[in-house]
Structure 1
């Protein structure tokens, strides 16, 4: 029997579900057949828009209904629902980020899926977009020579500027590292290989204020670190610095830079699939745009790749193993950042300045 089209169902019909549905509906390899949400009216609106069935949540995760589940529910439910989908042995499961915040849980889910013969893919899928694909090709071709260092920087005012209910973004294990970190860490993992933590620091600016929507002006408290800085390194010892902050009013700092012996690559926001990739050769005063082909982009590329992997008998590119590494790395950064630093000794005041 032909593996196509793969019957796909969306669990969780919030804002991001529309982006996924647009991508899947345009593909011939996936047949978007059903959706479900605890708010059945929300599921019905998505179903009506794309001509699919709105079914009860308990009826979606069954092999009789779908082959591929897209779990787009709130972050705290991802692991439990992925486990349910693995237990009933769907052919494939796609999970929005974060996979989980618990490293041991990430390892257990990855192992369970492999044992059950279920293909498991995890967001983000921006590594499949034109921007990161172009950057990866440039690195493979040796455009900037030997890699010497890299920087990743997220400096933002925080989601309270645009989101009418931003409190979940500041819950434990969230903040800029938990919410946006997976995009940056996944991009670095894809381009440079697995990373480990050398040192980290963090602080929390706890008093926040909603700046949009009907509750604008209302205060709330952040429980996650709102500023994290980490020193990472690749397996071969290449240093990588990561800064993630919801405390910056504005910035001109590039999101990602990779520095080599022959030049620098400047990459766009890894939260998105598109954007210019710039190359500044050694000694040049300006950077030039690296052209990339007009290819498909948008949330859902990873789910399409997962469906393709079912037919090709290969591992998905946005694999659970890569997501597992990101979960471990995030936990290690937070652990290092919250460990009290060693005191720094100051020179005694009795030492006289040089004459």
Structure 2
């Protein structure tokens, strides 16, 4: 009798099956598996981006006393991005046609100002008008250039000013590949040539100012090269501006990579894409696979990815990684 009671006490002292193999899920079928199935030790998520190919539609320049009307290049299509340069003597701010947004204005010596504007072209885009404040008179000169495949947002731009024969554009850094760089020069006398290595868009003078615009592709990402334009013998004031047009985003995706689960008897991995606590998509791959691709993402959105090992109805704990897309 004493032996029997001793054995019974020993059995009661053992932990239950559920206590020894507690699961991270509430389903009875998983109670044995969670501690046996190990999750992948590490997970990474990297964004993937593809971009449109940019192309020049055309460019037009004109000069007139205030107000200045600039025509849109004839090949312009709805959705194209337009960039306008307007140069004039003095420093007063201009009034622009509806929809045209100021990127920046740079003045040199109080005698020449170059103002840069941008807009997304609408159907049958009309000419743009730029005017001095009421009561001010004076000549103006400028141009508009149109591009397709450009991101419909404010471009990155910078400018610098000086005087003398050589005008040098500022250096800018781009985080994306395949950009278009537009260089805009203005002088209060003399004709600045297009910088070496660029393609001239326009060069035109009024009674008081001369403007030159040129562009070039830049593979990027990285620092856009500075360009110089020398007007022989000139001692006049100049402005030099650089505008970087980023290509439109076509596709945003993600590449996931993880370390294999130590549980080599697992059948594979299951993954989830989650936004705001809601599961948007699920997938599964066999155990020997440790990468996956995700497509159809939105730019500027935060995603959480979950990956777990599984065998039948048994699953491991999740390994997670958050990714905010920024193409």
TM-score bracket relative to the smaller structure:
under 0.3
TM-score where L is the length of structure 1: 0.20
Would you tell me which structure has more helix in proportion to its own residues?
1
TM-score where L is the length of structure 2: 0.21
